[in-house]
A and B are shown apart, each in its own frame.
Chain A
Amino acid sequence: MILLCNTKYFYIYNMESKQNYYDDLKTIKKIMEESSRFLSLSGLSGIFAGLTALIGGAVAYIVFLKNNFLDNGEFFRNLSVRELNTLKLQLFSDALIVLILAIGISLYFSYRKSVRHGLKIWTPVSKRLLTSLIVPLLTGGILIIIIYVKGQWQLIIPSMLIFYGLALVNACKFTYNELFYMGLIEICTGLAAAVFPEYGILFWCFGFGILHICYGLFMYRKYEG
């Protein structure tokens, strides 16, 4: 009888400690994830940044380029130097506004998600994430200015897409892994845009608009839905 009780006791004790070990492992996994990855990035950021890009692209194509692709030599030949300069300025401001809005939107939704999930937003990881994003993005930005000054405009859109893709590939280890694949697709889109520079604006809308929306929807359904 005593033996029986002992075995039973031992068995219960064993089960309890097993549960403890299991909880330990779960805690370890959670802490490792939260301390090494920035998980406040929201799918909603992707969706709304993508929509902003699509609207910006549509404005550029319909309002500024008057439904012309960049392969329409006639349209550009008929522009005076002054009109051409205005057009460049319009396209530049359009892209800049999209960029600022997209960054603002991402920050807003990240902040919202971090508050909702009780996560800290300014951590060693988010600093590392920013550094890994900024190096390729700044390099790309400077290169684009050089390309612009040198007049190789057909390379501006491919450079935007390629350097953005490189930034995502570089940064994915500090946030969701899925960003890696999106980075690769951005790079391919950029390379394709370099092959067909006349349709640059379509590749731009695909890379910054449609891809972001698809990514955002996917991530929102997977992690936040």
Chain B
Amino acid sequence: MKIAISSLNKLFENRVRLGIMSVLMVNDTFDFNSLKEALGVTDGNLASHLKALEENNLIKVNKQFIGRKPNTSYSVTPDGARSFRLHLKALEEIIKSQ
């Protein structure tokens, strides 16, 4: 139990950040607007949580132009994938333990 709780990642306690990571774990890349729709959050809210994840090197940002429109997409870093898997495992262990 102790071990499980200590491997919970504080960054993932927020629902939006948890959502972002969940989407990026099962998709190679996902763009900002689709992410916004998938999670049902506002621009500012999403941007701030993305920033936090990016600063902790859990996700990376790819900026490119599609035609003339800028398009920002996100993907998970190897580090991010590892910490998210650990977090998931910890959640499962806590639930299993009585």
Chain A interfacial positions (CB closer than 8 Å to B): 18, 21-22, 24-25, 27-28, 31-32, 34-36, 120, 123-125
Contacts and interface: CB of A to CB of B under 8 A. Distances in A.
A25 B95 contact: yes
Contact of B38 (A22, A24, A28, A31): A31
Contacts of B15: 24, 27
Main secondary structure of the interface of A (DSSP, over half): helix
B54 interface: no
Most chain A CB within 10 A, of B15, B34, B88, is at B34
Interface of chain B: mostly helix, strand, loop or mixed: helix
Contact of B19 (A18, A22, A31, A120): A31
B26 to A, nearest CB: 4
B94 A21 contact: yes
Given A21-B95, A25-B91, A124 B30 contact: yes
Contacts, number: 49
A32 B34 CA distance: 14
A120 B37 contact: yes
Contacts of A25: 88, 91-92, 95
B27 A124 contact: yes
Contacts of A32: 22-23, 25-26
B18 A27 contact: yes
A31 B23 contact: yes
B32 to A, nearest CB: 11
Interface residues of B, number: 20
Contacts of B27: 35-36, 124-125
A180 B2 CA distance: 42
Contacts of A35: 22-23, 26-27, 30, 38
A123 B22 CA distance: 16
B47 interface: no
Interface of B: 15, 18-19, 22-23, 25-27, 29-31, 34, 37-39, 88, 91-92, 94-95
16 contacts: A21-B91, A25-B95, A28-B18, A31-B22, A31-B23, A31-B39, A32-B22, A32-B26, A35-B23, A35-B27, A120-B37, A120-B38, A123-B37, A123-B38, A124-B29, A124-B30
A24 B18 contact: yes
Nearest to B38: A35
Given A24-B91, A32-B23, A124-B29, 17 more contacts: A18-B94, A18-B95, A21-B95, A24-B18, A27-B22, A28-B18, A28-B88, A32-B22, A32-B26, A35-B22, A35-B30, A35-B38, A120-B38, A123-B34, A123-B37, A123-B38, A124-B31
Nearest to B84: A28
Given A27-B18, A28-B18, A124-B34, A36 B26 contact: yes
Contacts of B30: 35, 124
A123 to B, nearest CB: 6
A24 B17 CA distance: 11
Contacts of A125: 27
